[in-house]
């Protein structure tokens, strides 16, 4: 039996757009992994009438209600009172919790003055399971009433995440008999609508496992999800679907559960004990940045040069004057020279060179914005590709960097570059 | 008369916790600036019944309903059909939009195959105002029905933000007889709670104009907003508040309406006809990337070296062996040497050097993660700062790059670095 859940975020700062509702994302991920269907997110402000209305609506359409926020010591922290009223549970003073809150101020806030309103946090619904807060003062709680389960978590993201892990997830895991298992199929080089057109029939006929496409940053993520009682059962269910997707998408799949393109490439490089260096121009440091976003990249990434001003391609990177004299800056020849020079300068196994026009204006040679050449120096070979022309500056840069990573991925896995 | 609004996010990926609902945050900020009260956020999946239910509820409690997501070409993009049904508006094929979508595939996606499902995006509610999508294929729309205003925006954040700006905000601004005028006061180097503590009294007493703080990426944005019938009236209202904020925050203000730190710095450099080059290590290309995010950066930014592997600081960047022998890699001496070498190598007026440990592990010298030194070589001076230690890898990198930019900003504007 699949439970349904609704997550209610309590906090005016969310409605003002001051912060993004990351608590809902964290709770959703946790529920998803538990095989609990989240059908609604709701956010209300620190307003008792609207919170009450939201809770009444949630009670009518969900088995599990999880609230985040509104558990603190100030006058606008109203979650417990409201939920207690709706479910007819009196609030009861928990002496143990009051002691813990006093101790928190003494030991962890260095004897900071504990104003009386903090004791408000020790009032909890009668008979509830108290959920300890390891990173803050406000305890959460969980209770069942009339077939509904209610869990109240604190608003501050770090506190919410911690209490999810130690309190909410164990409470909920006990309610469910099956789990969800997922494989992420990462696709590069084919657009969302093409992927969907090729897989639409397959996706529509699948009920368990399911296959869903997500487009993001010039890539497509296909999420394959199975609901089963064990990992083995799930894998057996997902294997045929995986085969079908591979048969349709082939080399466009850059990895399964390998994370981003950069993560995938770094894994291959580390596995093969190889290194890479980059020479960038229009991508301006973006490729280096993406590779170094990941801890442990230093094993494989040696560094890069952003030769932004044209002459620095000669003076800093060491591209020969002749190449620049005889070719437009945004050209195959220059990209290939840059890739070779990056490799030589840093002593790397692979070199990547990217040159082009990010836009919105044409460059000094009059080359149109969106024109990019990406080269890879590998072994005694040179590969060069001209990615799809985009017109948005940020997209031109991101897609050029992704193309470079995909070329290296293909080379490292023995596929046509 | 203050309108109330509800934002409905449509997308199963939000309910699965795959992404955070940043669209709701962007729309909320926009509505807040327009003086429209947001009382509810709702998120539903790609499910027509539950979307319909959410829309019915929203219709009962809000004047304005803004949806995000579900406008794309795939079979689970159902926002328009559902909203059209609820409000009794037939969907009509918009020939102009179909043409624009075909043209988009031809020109901006380089003749990528346009599968038929893309034409679904050209069906829009009869009589609606079509909102152009400058960054994607799906147009949005706005219409009024029975006293309610409905606006449909695309899900992908970049597309949503652009359409908010060019389509939704003008549509909503027209509902009001006065306009909102804004000044963005950008603050770096002081945390949100400190800024708020210093300005709390001022902020609480202001009703028009209003002053609101937003914390983001280690910076604070103070948005000063006046509701007035003309620009002159608005400026007169905002001038005294601006003075008060300046008196309180002084040099921590890096710009007013100057955009990001990188934009601010590039403007000053271009104005003064000066150039900068950078040498990065733990920031791994991020500083170069931020500078080159902006069109026209080539007038001031010559380039950079990411000397990620320690030895490349010597072999590529030209830092002397001795400096590295006699100091930890993450040290003032190395940062200063890197700043000098970047400047010399690229022939720039200014050089920036950043060295440190992004984490989560300590470096080869055992230096703790979060330790960073940022140096600026300017004229015959060398400045070096050690920014606040963070523990999150991404935050360490971003804050180091921002510190470098702020140091250069201070130098360029004659303030203490």
User: How does pLDDT run across B318-341, given as a tens digit for each residue?
Assistant: 999 999 999 999 999 999 999 999
Average pLDDT over residues A137-150: 95
Which pTM does this prediction carry? 0.81
Average pLDDT over residues A60-85: 91
Residue A227 to residue A176: CA distance in whole angstroms: 12
Contact B135, B154 (CB under 8 A): no
Model pLDDT, residue B1: 60
If asked whether residues B12 and B46 sit together in one domain, one would say yes
Average pLDDT over residues B171-176: 88
Mutation choice for A interface testing from B306, B344, B359 by most A CBs within 10 A: B306
Phi, psi of A390 (to 5 degrees): -110, 165
Provide the residue count of chain B. Answer: 417
- Interchain pair A21, B27: CB under 8 A: no
Highest mean pLDDT among A20-34, A175-189, B105-119, B298-312: B298-312
In a domain, A363, yes or no: yes
Q: Are strands A64-68 and A37-44 parallel, antiparallel or unpaired?
A: unpaired
If asked whether residues B163 and B183 sit together in one domain, one would say no
Contact A343, A277 (CB under 8 A): yes
If asked whether residues A183 and A61 sit together in one domain, one would say no
Model pLDDT, residue B216: 76
B-contacting residues in A 4-43 (Cβ below 8 Å): 9, 14-22, 24-32, 38-43
Model pLDDT, residue B196: 86
Q: From residue B380, how far is each of A3, B118, B122, B351 by CA, in Å?
A: 68, 60, 61, 11
Residues on chain B touching A193 (C-beta within 8 angstroms):
73-74, 114-115, 117-118
Tokens of A263: 């993560």
- Choose the weakest-confidence range: A122-131, A293-302, B171-180: B171-180
- Which is nearest to B32 in space by CA: B221, B241, B239? B221
- Interchain pair A41, B38: CB under 8 A: no
Share of chain A above pLDDT 90, in %: 77
If asked whether residues B126 and B144 sit together in one domain, one would say yes
Beta-carbon count within 10 A of B257 CB = 10
- Shortest CA gap A232–chain B (Å): 23
For residue A30, give the CATH number of its domain: 3.40.980.10
Q: How many domains does chain A have?
A: 3
Phi, psi of A402 (to 5 degrees): -65, -40
Q: Band of the pLDDT at B304, cuts 50, 70, 90? A: very high
User: How does pLDDT run across B214-270, given as a tens digit for each residue?
Assistant: 877 789 999 898 988 889 999 999 999 999 999 999 999 999 999 999 999 999 999
The strand pairing partners of A228, in sequence order, are A179
**Per-residue pLDDT at B194 exceeds 90:** no
In a domain, A417, yes or no: no
If asked whether residues B250 and B268 sit together in one domain, one would say no
Contact A324, A315 (CB under 8 A): no
- Interchain pair B40, A38: CB under 8 A: no
In a domain, B230, yes or no: yes
The strand pairing partners of A155, in sequence order, are none
- Interchain pair B316, A345: CB under 8 A: yes
Say yes or no: B179 contacts chain A, CB-CB below 8 A.
Answer: no
A to B CB pairs, distance under 8 Å: 278
If asked whether residues B197 and B331 sit together in one domain, one would say no
DSSP string, B51-104: HHHHHHHHHHH-SEEEEES--SSSTT--HHHHHHHHTT--EEE-HHHHHHHHHI
If asked whether residues A278 and A324 sit together in one domain, one would say yes
Question: Which of residues B173, B198, B214 is at a domain's end?
Answer: B173
- For residue A237, give its domain range: 179-256
Model pLDDT, residue B18: 83
Q: Which residue of A has its CA nearest to B135?
A: A392
User: How does pLDDT run across B130-171, given as a tens digit for each residue?
Assistant: 999 998 889 999 999 999 999 999 999 999 999 999 999 999
For residue B203, give the CATH number of its domain: 3.30.70.2860
Average pLDDT over residues B388-417: 94
Residue A404 to residue A160: CA distance in whole angstroms: 39
Question: Which of residues B139, B173, B207 is at a domain's end?
Answer: B173
Residues on chain B touching A39 (C-beta within 8 angstroms):
15, 44-45, 47, 50
In a domain, A15, yes or no: yes
User: How does pLDDT run across B220-236, given as a tens digit for each residue?
Assistant: 999 898 988 889 999 99
Contact B97, B139 (CB under 8 A): yes
User: How does pLDDT run across A154-175, given as a tens digit for each residue?
Assistant: 999 989 999 999 999 989 988 8
Partner residue facing A21 (CB), from B24, B212, B287: B24
If asked whether residues A232 and A268 sit together in one domain, one would say no
Tokens of A370: 């969106």
Phi, psi of B291 (to 5 degrees): -65, -40
Burial A358-390 (b: 16+ CB within 10 A, else e): bbeeebeeebebbbbbbbbbbeeebbbbbbbbb
Q: From residue A260, how far is each of A275, B68, B357 by CA, in Å?
A: 18, 26, 23
Contact B354, B280 (CB under 8 A): yes
Residue A236 to residue A225: CA distance in whole angstroms: 12
The strand pairing partners of A354, in sequence order, are A374
Contact B69, A37 (CB under 8 A): no
User: How does pLDDT run across A341-389, given as a tens digit for each residue?
Assistant: 999 999 999 999 999 999 999 999 999 999 999 999 999 999 999 998 8
Q: From residue A257, how far is each of A264, A267, B292, B411 by CA, in Å?
A: 9, 12, 32, 47
In a domain, A78, yes or no: yes
If asked whether residues B154 and B267 sit together in one domain, one would say no
In a domain, A113, yes or no: yes
Model pLDDT, residue A300: 98
**Per-residue pLDDT at A109 exceeds 80:** no
Model pLDDT, residue B391: 81
The strand pairing partners of B225, in sequence order, are B182, B210
Share of chain B above pLDDT 70, in %: 100
Tokens of B161: 């933000």
Question: Which of residues A173, A195, A229 is at a domain's end?
Answer: A173
Which residue spans within A307-349 are E strands per DSSP?
none
Q: Longest Cα pair distance anywhere in chain B, in angstroms? A: 77
In a domain, B184, yes or no: yes
Q: From residue A280, how far is each of A18, A277, A358 by CA, in Å?
A: 36, 10, 12
A198, exposed or middle or buried, with CB in 10 Å at 0-12, 13-18, 19+? middle
**Per-residue pLDDT at B178 exceeds 90:** no
Q: Which residue of B has its CA nearest to A54?
A: B40
Residue A357 to residue A23: CA distance in whole angstroms: 40
Model pLDDT, residue B107: 82
If asked whether residues A241 and A166 sit together in one domain, one would say no
Residues on chain A touching B291 (C-beta within 8 angstroms):
284-285
Partner residue facing A15 (CB), from B41, B109, B156: B41
If asked whether residues B188 and B158 sit together in one domain, one would say no
If asked whether residues A138 and A87 sit together in one domain, one would say yes
For residue B313, give the CATH number of its domain: 3.90.950.20
Average pLDDT over residues A207-218: 84
A-contacting residues in B 279-318 (Cβ below 8 Å): 280, 282-289, 291-293, 295, 297-298, 301-309, 312, 315-316
Average pLDDT, chain B: 93
Q: Band of the pLDDT at A137, cuts 50, 70, 90? A: confident
Contact A92, A80 (CB under 8 A): no
Contact A278, A304 (CB under 8 A): yes
Tokens of A355: 């040159």
Model pLDDT, residue A1: 59
- Shortest CA gap A43–chain B (Å): 5
Strand, coil or helix: what is A211?
strand
In a domain, B417, yes or no: no
- Interchain pair A388, B110: CB under 8 A: yes
């Amino acid at each position: 039996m699949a439970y349904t859940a609704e997550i209610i975020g309590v906090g005016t700062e969310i409605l003002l757009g001051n912060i993004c509702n990351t608590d809902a994302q964290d709770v959703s991920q946790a529920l998803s992994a538990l095989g609990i269907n989240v059908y609604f997110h709701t956010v209300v402000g620190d307003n008792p009438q609207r919170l009450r209305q939201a809770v009444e609506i949630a009670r009518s359409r969900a088995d599990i209600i999880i609230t985040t926020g509104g558990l603190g010591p100030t006058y606008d922290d109203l979650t417990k009172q409201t939920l207690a009223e709706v479910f007819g549970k009196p609030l009861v003073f928990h002496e143990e919790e009051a002691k813990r809150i006093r101790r928190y101020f003494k030991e962890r806030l260095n004897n900071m003055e504990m104003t009386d309103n903090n004791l408000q946090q020790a009032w909890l619904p009668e008979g509830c399971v108290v959920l300890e807060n390891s990173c803050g003062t406000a305890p959460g709680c969980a209770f069942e009433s009339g077939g509904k389960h209610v869990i109240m978590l604190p608003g501050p993201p770090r506190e919410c995440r911690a209490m999810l892990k130690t309190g909410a997830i164990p409470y909920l895991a006990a309610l469910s008999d099956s789990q969800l298992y997922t494989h992420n199929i990462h696709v590069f080089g084919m657009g969302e609508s093409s992927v969907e057109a090729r897989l639409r029939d397959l996706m529509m006929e699948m009920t368990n496992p399911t296959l869903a496409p997500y487009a993001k940053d010039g890539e497509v993520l296909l999420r394959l999800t199975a609901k089963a009682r064990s990992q083995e059962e799930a894998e057996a269910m997902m294997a045929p679907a995986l085969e079908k997707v591979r048969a349709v998408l082939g080399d466009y799949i850059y990895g399964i559960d390998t994370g981003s393109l950069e993560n995938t490439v770094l894994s291959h490089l580390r596995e093969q004990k190889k290194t890479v260096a980059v020479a960038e121009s229009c991508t301006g440091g973006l490729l280096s940045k993406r590779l170094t976003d990941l801890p442990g990249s230093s094993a494989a990434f040696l560094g890069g040069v952003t030769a932004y001003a044209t002459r620095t391609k000669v003076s800093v990177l060491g591209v020969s004057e002749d190449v620049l004299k005889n070719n437009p800056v945004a050209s195959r020849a220059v990209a290939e020279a840059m890739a070779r020079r990056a490799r030589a300068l840093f002593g790397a196994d692979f070199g990547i060179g990217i040159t082009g026009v990010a836009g919105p204006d044409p460059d000094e040679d009059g080359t149109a914005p969106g024109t990019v050449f990406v080269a890879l120096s590998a072994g005694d070979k040179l590969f060069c590709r001209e990615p799809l022309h985009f017109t948005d500056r940020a997209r031109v840069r991101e897609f050029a960097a992704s193309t470079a990573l995909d070329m290296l991925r293909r080379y490292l896995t023995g596929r046509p570059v």
